[in-house]
Amino acid sequence: MAWISKLSLVLLLAGGAAFAHHSAPVFYKVDERITISGTVTEFRFTNPHAILKLEVESEDGEKQQWTAETTSPSVLRRRGWSQASFQPGEKVKLEGMPSIDGSFLIRITRAFREDGTEIGVPPGTDN
């Protein structure tokens, strides 16, 4: 597995080592908010950040596959989230930060079921 070591070395030499804090400001416009609605296709409730995949239909009918990132499940659990919070096929509305690069990526700040019920407790801080 020498190639893995070489790859890691290259990454470490490129302007500071790569450490995994998964910083929001480098991926998201932290001062902006967008809202998307779609159908859940997958939910992974694992650290470092839980991931929700959903299909969103745009205004012109295009089906977009969105990745919705949250904070750590360790933190979310204390806000009332669990692996059972989202089920595939369920329709949800998400509020959050848009991606800087324009990709279909959102950092969730609040999540709602189809009937408007909020999922978990809104964050006092976002990790």
DSSP secondary structure letter of residue 23: -
- For residue 56, what is the enclosing H or E element? strand 51-57
The single residue among 33, 39, 41, 51 that binds another protein, judged by CB under 8 A, is 51
Other CB atoms closer than 10 Å to residue 111's CB: what's the count? 21
Q: Is 9 in the site for another protein (CB under 8 A)?
A: no
CB of 116 to another protein, least distance (A): 26
Q: How many CA atoms lie within 13 A of 96 on its CB side?
A: 30
Interface pattern 81-100 for another protein (x via CB under 8 A)? ------------------x-
Q: Is 8 in the site for another protein (CB under 8 A)?
A: yes
Query: Smallest Cα–Cα separation from 56: which of 34, 75, 80, 73?
Result: 34
Nearer to another protein, 106 or 111 (CB): 106
Q: Is 49 in the site for another protein (CB under 8 A)?
A: yes
Q: Is 7 in the site for another protein (CB under 8 A)?
A: yes
